[in-house]
Amino acid sequence: MSRGAIYVIGGASAALILFLLLPGWLFVLAVLGLIAVPVVGYLMLDPQQRRRLRGQRKRLG
Task: Please give the single-letter amino acid code of residue 16.
Answer: L
pLDDT-derived band at 47 (thresholds 50, 70, 90) equals very high
Q: If you average pLDDT over residues 6-31, what whole number do you get?
A: 85
Number of alpha carbons in the 13 Å side-chain half-sphere of residue 34:
10
Residue 44, Cβ neighbours under 10 Å: how many?
Answer: 9
Phi and psi dihedrals of 14, rounded to 5? -65, -40
CA gap 18, 40 in Å, rounded: 22
The reported pLDDT for the residue numbered 40 is 92
The reported pLDDT for the residue numbered 61 is 53
Q: Is 44 helix (H, G, I), strand (E, B) or coil?
A: coil
The reported pLDDT for the residue numbered 60 is 62
